[in-house]
Structure 1
């Protein structure tokens, strides 16, 4: 019986030491400071040249790394007006992004056609440059979408904080 207790004790000690291995730090993605969920407004200039909200509130936008996980590109997915994911070129060091003119499939009931041509300019992610509805600082995103060479929209907002007051 003493032999079994010693074997059990040795097995327990060996399992204890193997459980003490250092955990590997997984790291982040190549565009992690630009990636996230954002609450944004779509604005268009009115007759007086002032930007006004065209949707009557905020919509969700997501930015995330591509499968290549490189700092020169990311996905931008808007699920309301465009309802598509767009691959944009990024300058990670400057936290900027843009997209050359591209034809995308869209909902014809929203845009009047099943495909539109658009480009993205002036895209920026600014650290702690926004104030959330709860009054806390958050990262800001802003960019301009030109549709069919005619209409330009300003999309701007803040990174999701997860706090109920900001939802």
Structure 2
């Protein structure tokens, strides 16, 4: 078997797993159709372990659903989820002047205030991809407004953290390169 044939087989395997298993599972178990957004703390059987919503995962989910809609195929359900996430996070960002909190409750109230720029980075990525998928200029403006808050806080020593939680021992963070 040629390496290119192996890569084609892997591409088919991962594409099918994404489209036939991963995304349907998230549509069924991860999307909060009642309050908006997504929840990420879910057991393998689909039961929700905790309804609090980390902002970084909301931004990441906005990115994923928007990007899939834009690049893999214009599936209406992906766009609906992206729109739901956008409408869930918009008032949170607006209320906090585009400085994103760490965690919100199921209904969008702040559980943990902003303590680092991780959530902001994922918000920028999600809002940008959503804007590209929908043509929504307002979403792009919000991504830029968020970027400006990150830039301002980054210029002032001590006004942001790069690590969202305290690390123990020799543990190292990988988050900045992930964003």
Query: Aligning the two structures, in what range does the TM-score lie when normalised by the shorter sequence?
Result: under 0.3
Q: Which has the larger radius of gyration?
A: 1
TM-score by length of 1: 0.22
Higher strand share: 1
TM-score by length of 2: 0.21
Higher helix share: 2
